[in-house]
A and B are shown apart, each in its own frame.
Chain A
Amino acid sequence: MRRRSAIVACALALGCGEGFLPPSYVNELRVLAVRTEPPEIAWGAEEIPSESRISVLVADPVQLLDPTREVVVGYLSCTADPARLEFNPCTAVTTLRSPGELAAQLPKELCEGGGGDERQRNPFAFLGAERCRHAEGCEPLRVPVGDFELPLPPPVFRLEDDLGLSALPANHPARTRGHQVVVLAFAVAAAPAELVEGADTSDECRLGTSLMSRFIQLFEERESVMALKRIQVRGPDQADEPNENPRITGILVRGVPLPAEPADPWPEIATFARKQSIFLHPRPAPAPLDEEGRPLHGSEKQSYTRYRHDGTPLGTEVEEWRYSWFSTAGRFHEARGDTEGGIIWAAPTGDSEDPVPPEGRVFLYLVVRDGRGGVDWVRREVRVR
C-alpha cells in the first residue's frame, strides 16, 4: 500500500493542524466516494430491488501530468452469515492491513453475486472491475485475453436469497436492523493489461479469482487506495420507506451552475483568478414528484428509524446530509459542510506551496451523504488564470 509522499507546507491548508495536507486537497490517487444504487436492497420485496450497482468517484490528478497513466478498480464483496457471530473478513483489521491474507482466503472460483448456500464457507464474490480516468470517470473494464478483449461485468451485487433473515428468531437484531454486505474497492494505478498477466482465463469464475488476486498483488506494489462500502440488506421486520440516494445536480457559483462538461471557449463563470475566494453552493435536485405531481416525500430528506445494537428502536430521525468538498488545487475553508449553506474555496496562489496545475485545470468535487449509506456526487472542472 504505497502512497506518494507529497508534503506541502501547512500554509496551504487551513485547519490541517500539524503541517499535514487537509483531506480536501487531492494531489494523488484518491477514492472520494463509493455509491451503490440503490443503497438498500431486499429479497422478495416489490418496491426494493435485490441488486445494486456500484460506482466509484476516483480522482487521480497525476494523469494531467502523465496522460499514459491509468487506474483500474476491482470490487470484492463479503457477505457474512447474519445468524452467526463470526466476523466479516472485509471489515476485519487483520485482513485489511494485509490484503495478501485476504487473497489467501479467496476460493479458487469467485463467481459474481456471492452468497447462497456456499456463503458460510465462502463469503467472497468478485463483482467486477472498472477503468477510471481522472477527467472522465469510470467505465466497465475490458481486459485483453489473447487476441480478444474480454468485457468484465459492471460491478453489481446481487442478492440471491434473503440471507436467512426471515428465518432468524423474533428478537434477533437483524430482523429490524437488517444486515450489511461489505464491498471492498481496490483502486490501483495500473493498466488493464497488467491485470491478466498469468490469469486463469479458462473459466469465468476462475478468472474472477485470478483478477482479484492480481488486483491485490498490484495493490501492494503500486500507488493504490482501498475503499470500504456497505450495502444495506433490509430486515424482514423493517417498515421504513426504502432508503434512496440523496441527489445533487451541480455546484453553484453566485447562483449559476458550473458547466458539467468542458466547453470552448471556456465559460467565464468557471474561470477564476489566482487567490480569488469563491463561495460555492451545492445545487440540489428538484424534489421528486409522484404521479399526480405532488412531492414524493415531505422533504428530500427521508425519515427513518434508528435502532440500537440489540435491534430495539432508538427513535425516528430525519436524515442529516453532509457535504464533502474536494479540489485538486487551492484550498477550502472547511473540508466538510454540515449544511447546504455552501463553502468558501480559495483559488491557488501559484506559489510553490500552492501551485496552479498545468493549463490552470482544477477539478472540484462535491459529495453528499445521507448518513445511512446514500451517496451522490458531482465533479466540475474550472480554470485558474
Chain B
Amino acid sequence: MTGRAPLLAALALVLLFDPPALGQTVTRLPEVLEAAEAVYPPEARELGLEAEVLLEIDISEQGEVLDVRVVQPAGHGFDEAAVEALRRYRFRPAEVDGAPAAVTIEFRYRFELRQETPPPPAEGVLRGRVVDRESRQPVVGALVDAGEAGVAETDADGRFEIADLPAGRIRVVVVASDYERFETEELVAEGQATDVVYYLEPLPRSPYESVVRGRRPKKEVSTVAISQGEITRIPGTHGDTVRVVQNLPGVARIPYGAGAIIVRGGEAHDTRAYVDGQYVPLIFHFGALSSVYASELIQEVEFEAGNFGARYGRATGGRVEIVTRDPGEELRLVADADLYDATGLMETRVSDDLAVALAARRSYVDAVLNAATQLVPTAFEGMGFSVAPRFWDYQAKIAYRPSENDRLRLDVYGSSDRLAMTGVNTGVETDSSMETSMGFARVALSWDHRLDDSTRTRVVLAPGWDQIRMAMEPLLFDLNVYSLTARAEAFHDVSSVLSIGAGLDLLVSEQNMLIQLPVDEPGQIPPPDFRDMLGHLETQVTLVQPALWTEAVIRPVSRLSLVPGIRVDWDSYLEATWVDPRFNARWQVADGTVLKGGVGLYHQPPPPQTIVEEYGNPDLEPEAAWQYALGVEQHLVGPLHLDFQVYYKDLRDLVVVSDRVVRRGGEEVLERYANEGTGEAYGAEILLRYDADARFFGWLGYSISRSKRHDRLRDRTTPSFTEQPHSLVGVGTLELPEIWEGFSIGARVRYTSGNPYTPVIGGVYDADRDAYRRLPAPDSRSQRLPDFFQLDLRADKEWDFGTSRLSVYLDVQNVTNRKNAEGVIYNFDYSESDYLPGLPIFPSVGIRWEI
C-alpha cells in the first residue's frame, strides 16, 4: 500500500462534560486551531488498514489539550498515534455564554489511506462555504477533499479555498464531525474560481444529553434533553420533537394520545411547561396532534421527571421546557405539511449581528373532518361546526449581538385552538351550541450579559396573555389572564471548586374569570337539570407569585459535583410562603460510570378550579412533595448507554373532595375541597439508549412504578388515576443501505399496564330526567383496564437536489389494528359494559420541502 498517504479526518466534537457552572449555555464548541498529523502506523500502512479511534479530550479554557484518553481503541498502533497527535493539537476554547471555558469532548480520529500521485497542473480555484443544512450555521473544521488536487479545512466562518486545481470535473468529498459524509462533482473552469456552498447533513443526534449542542451543564438527576433532528422521524409523533417526551420512561401513557404529560404517578397539573423559561399554559394543540412550537426552531426539549433544580418551582412533578435556538446564519426556507397541519419557516441573517426567523403553522383538521363527513355522512349526524376545529401557532425571533458580551433576543410566539359546534345533546337540550377556545401569546425580551470571565447575568421580561373559554349555553368558563413573567439571574464562578447562581422568578398575573357552571354537591345524585344548579362567579384577581432561588455547584474533588439549592415562593392569593430546599449530586466513579442522586421539597398551588369562591375552597394550602432519586449512568459498549434510576415521592397536603360543612365568612358552607390527601409514588426506570450514528438511533425504556393516594376524610387508599405499574417503550429509526438511498424506516412499540378505573355497579332510574344515574363502586379505581400494546411504523424518503431537499413520509399507527381498551362504556341502565376501543390502524402522510 505504498504510494498512499494518510488522510486524517473527523472532528467528532461531542461535548461530554460542560463547564461546571449554573444555568450556563455553551455558545461555541471548541474549534481546531492547530491540527497535528498523526504518524500513520507503519504496520497498519503495510497491511492497508484504515481505522477510527474514539478519544476523550480535556481542553482548558485556553484551548490547550490537558489530557487525552482512548475510548474506543483500534489497535495496530492507531491508538498511540492518535493520542500523540492530539496532544499537539491546539483549540480555540469552547465558550459558555460567550466566555472561554474548559470542556471535555469526544474526538474521532480517522486514519485513511489515499493514493499518492503527483498533482496535475494548477489552473483553477474552488472556494466557498460549508454550512449545516438544518441550522445554516457555518461548519468549522470541515475537511474539503478535492482528491489529489488538494485538501482544505474550513475556517470559523465555514469558508475554504483550494487553489491550483486542474480544469475539468473533480470529485469533492467533505467530511466533518457530527455530519454525514458529503460527495459531489464540480466543474472547475480554467483560470477561474468556482464558488460553491455545501450543505452538510447533521448526523442523527441522540435524543439524550450527550450530543446536544449548547445544552446546560448536566447537574440534575433526571434530565433528558431531546434534540431536534432525526428524532422527528420517530413513528407516532408526526415529526413533533415535543411529543417524543411522551415516549420516555416515567411518563404515563394517556388515552388517545391526549396532550397531558403525567410523570411518575402524578397528576397533569403537577408538571409545568416552559418555553425558554417562560411558563406556558399548554404545550400541545387539540388532541396532542402537534406541539405549540415549531420543531424547526427548537434547539432541544428538556424533560425532567423529577428532582429539578431550584431555578424552577410551582410544580411537584416534572418539568418540560422547550429551548429554542437563535436564527441560522444562512437563508433557509421550509414548508412542511401532513395530514393535520402545514408549517412554514423562514430564517436569515440580516447583518453580522442580527438574525431573524419567522414560522407559522395552521391546521386543516376542519377540512379533514369535512372529508370524513363526505365519506361517512352519519359521522357527525345532527351536529354542525360553526367554527370547525382548527389551531394555529406562530413564532418570530430577532437575535441581536451588540457586543461580544451581550446578546439580546426578542421572541414573539403564541398559539390558538378553537372549535364551535351546534346540535350538541346536553341531556336536557338536544340542540345546544358548544364553543371552546384556548390560546396564549408571549412577547419575551431576553438579555444575556457577561460582566467578566466568571460572572454573567440574564434578564428576561415576558408579558403574556392566556385565554381559556368553554361555553355551552348556559354553561360558561371564561378565563383571561394577562401576565408578566420576569426572570433576573446571575451566575458566578467563584473558583474551580465553587460556582453559584441566584435569581428572581416572578409571575404577576391579572386573572379575569367568568364562570357559570353547576355547583356540585359531592356524593349526591345531581338534579335532573344542571341548569338548576348554576353558580355564577365574575371576578378579577391580581396574583403575585415571586420566588427567589439560589443554587451552587460544589466540586470538592474531581468528577464529583454537589448541587445544593433553595427556593422561596410566595403566593398572594393563597397568602402563603413556602421554602423548598433541594440537593442533587453527580459522581463519576469511573470512566463511563456516573452515580447520581437527589432529594428535594416541592410545592405547588392547588388546581385553580379548587380554590375559587363558590366552586371551591379559597382556604386551601399548597400541595407538597418530597422527591428522592438515586441512579447510575453506565456506558456499556460502543454507542450503548444505560441509565437506571429509582425514585420515591412523598406527597402531602393533596387536595381531595370534601363533603364537610364548615363556617366561612360567618356562614355555614360546603367545604368542597380540603388538603386532606396524602400519597406516595415509587418506582424504577431503565433507559437503554443507542447513541445516534450514521445508520441507527433509538432507545428502550422500561419503568415499574406504583402510585397511591390516601383520602383521610374517607380513610380510603386508591391508586392514582394513571398508575401504570409496567411501561415499556422502544423506538428506533434506521437509515437503509445506500442502495435504498434516502430511505429510512422507524418503529415504535409500546406496552403499558392498563389504567385503573372505578367500576359502575349499577344505576338508579332518575324519573325526572328519564335517564339512569351511575352508581360507582365504593372502592375507587379497584379495577384495571387490559394492558395496552401498540406498534407504529414509519418510512421516510428523501431526495436531495443540492440546494434543496424534498422528503415524504408515511406514518402508520397501530399497524396491527389492535383494539386497545381506553375506557369503559355502559348501557343505558349500567347493567352491561364494554371497553371503549382506542385508536384503530391509522395511517398518515407528510411532505417537506426545504431550501
Q: Give chain A's interface residues, CB within 8 Å of chain B.
A: 1, 3, 5, 7, 17-23, 31, 33-34, 84-88, 91-94, 96-98, 177, 180, 185, 225-230, 306-310, 312, 314, 320, 322, 324, 336, 338, 367, 369, 371-373, 375
B528 at the interface (CB under 8 A from A): yes
Q: A33-B770, A97-B776 are in contact. Are A226 and B521 (CB under 8 A)?
A: no
B687 to chain A, nearest CB (A): 39
Cβ–Cβ contact B767 & A93, under 8 A:
no
Are A309 and B834 within 8 A (Cβ)? no
Which one of A93, A225, A310, A338 lies within 8 Å of B765 (CB-CB)? A225
Whether A93 pairs with B524 at a CB distance below 8 angstroms is yes
Contacts of A185 in B (CB 8 A): 767
B524 touches A87 (CB 8 A): yes
B529 within 8 A of A: yes
Contacts of A338 in B (CB 8 A): 429-431
CA distance A341 to B430 in the complex (A): 14
The answer to whether A22 touches B428 (Cβ under 8 A) is no
For the complex with contacts A98-B778, A369-B770, 10 further pairs of A-B residues with Cβ separation under 8 Å are: A20-B832, A87-B521, A87-B524, A177-B532, A228-B764, A306-B531, A314-B474, A314-B531, A320-B429, A371-B529
B525 pairs with A93, CB closer than 8 A = yes
A-B contact count (CB 8 A): 120
Which residues on the A side are within 8 Å of B430 (C-beta)?
336, 338
Asked if B35 lies at the interface with its beta carbon under 8 angstroms from chain A, I say no
Complex partner residue of B536 from A7, A23, A308, CB under 8 angstroms: A308
Q: What's the Cα separation between A3 and B761 when bound, in Å?
A: 11
A98 contacts across to B, CB distance below 8 A? 778
Nearest CB in chain A: distance from B668 CB, A: 6
**Chain A residues near B827 (CB-CB < 8 A):** 20-21
* Chain A residues within an 8 Å CB radius of B832: 5, 7, 20
Contact A228 B765 (CB under 8 A): yes
Query: By the criterion CB–CB under 8 Å, are A309 and B524 in contact?
Result: no
Asked if A310 and B536 sit within 8 Å, CB to CB, the answer is yes
Contact A18 B825 (CB under 8 A): yes
Beta-carbon contact of A227 and B765 below 8 Å: yes
| A324 contact set on B, CB distance < 8 A | 770
CA distance A324 to B778 in the complex (A): 32
C-alpha spacing A98/B778, complex, angstroms: 9
Distance in angstroms between the alpha carbons of A5 and B830 in the assembled complex: 11
Q: How far is the CB of A235 from chain B (nearest CB, A)?
A: 13
Which residue from B533, B767, B828 sits with its C-beta under 8 Å from A309? B533
- Closest residue of chain B to A98 (Cβ to Cβ) is B778
CB within 8 Å of A: which B802-827 residues: 825-827
B157 contact set on A, CB distance < 8 A: none
Measured CB to CB, the closest approach of chain A to B539, in angstroms, equals 15
- A and B contact pairs by CB, cutoff 8 A, 9 listed: A23-B771, A93-B523, A93-B776, A97-B761, A180-B527, A227-B764, A228-B765, A229-B767, A309-B534
Q: Mark B770-786, 1 if CB is under 8 A from A, else 0.
A: 11010111100000000
> What's the nearest-Cβ distance from chain B to residue A332, in Å?
13
Q: Are the C-beta atoms of A373 and B828 separated by less than 8 Å?
A: no
Contact present for A228 and B525 (CB under 8 Å): yes
Contact present for A367 and B525 (CB under 8 Å)? no
Q: Assess A23 versus B829: contact at CB under 8 Å? Given A94-B523, A96-B525, A314-B474.
A: yes
Q: Tell me the bound Cα distance from A82 to B774 in angstroms.
A: 26
Complexed CA–CA distance, A272 and B659 (Å): 55
CA distance A180 to B523 in the complex (A): 17
CB distance from B723 to the nearest CB of A (A): 23
A31 to B532, CA, bound (A): 25
Contact with A along B755-769 (1 / 0, CB 8 A): 000000110111110
Smallest CB separation, A113 vs chain B (Å): 21
Instruction: Tell me whether A19 and B834 are in contact in the complex, defined as CB-CB below 8 angstroms, given that A93-B775, A338-B430, A371-B529 are known contacts.
Output: yes
Residue of B532, B765, B773 near A307 (CB, 8 A) is: B532
Q: How far is the CB of A197 from chain B (nearest CB, A)?
A: 25
Alpha-carbon gap, A92 to B775, bound state (A): 10
Question: Cβ of B532 and Cβ of A306 under 8 Å apart?
Answer: yes
| Chain B: minimal CB distance from A331 (Å) | 14
What are the residues of chain B within 8 A of A96 when measuring CB–CB?
525, 764, 775
A312 to B832, CA, bound (A): 41
Closest residue of B by beta carbon distance from A306: B531
9 nearest CB pairs, A to B = A20-B827, A23-B828, A34-B767, A97-B775, A3-B831, A227-B765, A91-B525, A309-B519, A229-B767
Q: Which residues of chain B are within 8 angstroms of A369 by Cβ–Cβ distance? A: 768, 770
* Chain B residue at minimal CB-CB distance from A97: B775
Compute how far the CA of A17 lies from the CA of B834 in the bound complex, rounded to whole angstroms.
11
Q: Which residues of B contact A229 (CB under 8 A)?
A: 767-768
Q: Does B661 contact A (CB under 8 A)?
A: yes
Chain B: CB-nearest residue to A185: B767
Q: Which residues of B contact A97 (CB under 8 A)?
A: 761-762, 775-778
Q: Separation in Å of the A31 CB from the closest CB of chain B?
A: 5
User: 8 Å CB contacts to A: which residues of B515-560?
Assistant: 518-519, 521, 523-525, 527-529, 531-536
Q: How far is the CA of A372 from the CA of B527 in the complex (A)?
A: 10
B736 to chain A, nearest CB (A): 43
A20 to B474, CA, bound (A): 31
Residues of B within 8 A of A375 (CB): 767-768
- B48-82 contacts to A (CB < 8 Å): none
- Residue among A86, A97, A322 having the largest count of chain B Cβ atoms under 10 Å: A97
List the A side residues contacting B668 at CB < 8 Å.
Answer: 84-85
Does B670 interact with chain A (Cβ within 8 Å)? yes
Residues in B neighbouring A225, C-beta threshold 8 A:
765
Which residues of chain B have C-beta atoms less than 8 A from A85's C-beta? 661, 668-670
In the assembled complex, the CB of A217 is this many whole angstroms from the nearest CB of chain B, namely 17
Of all chain A residues, the one with the shortest Cβ separation from B381 is A15
State which residues 392-439 of B face A: CB under 8 Å: 428-431
Q: Name the contact of B661 in the complex, choosing from A5, A22, A86, A306 (C-beta under 8 A).
A: A86
Separation of A19 and B827 alpha carbons in the complex (Å): 9
Chain B positions 642 through 676: 1 when the CB is less than 8 Å from some CB of chain A, otherwise 0: 00000000000000000101000000111000000
Which of B661, B669, B827 has the most CB atoms of chain A within a 10 A radius of its CB? B827
Q: Which residues of A contact B527 (CB under 8 A)?
A: 180, 230
State the CA gap A83–B495 with chains docked (Å): 70
Shortest C-beta distance, A146 to chain B (Å), equals 35
Complex contact B767–A314 (CB within 8 A)? no
Q: In the complex the two chains form, what is the Cα distance from A331 to B831 in whole Å? A: 20
A85 to B523, CA, bound (A): 13
Would A88 and B536 count as touching, CB distance under 8 A? no
- B776 CB contacts on chain A under 8 angstroms: 93, 97
Instruction: Report how far A88 CA is from B428 CA in the complex, Å.
Output: 23
Query: A22, A87, A88, A373 — which one has the most chain B CB atoms within 10 A of its CB?
Result: A87
* Alpha-carbon separation in the docked complex, A87 to B523 (Å): 9
In the assembled complex, the Cα of A295 lies from the Cα of B531 at a distance in Å of: 30
A226 touches B765 (CB 8 A): yes
Interchain CA distance A96-B765 in the complex, whole Å: 11
Which residues of the partner chain B approach A19 to less than 8 Å between Cβ atoms? 834
A5 to B829, CA, bound (A): 11
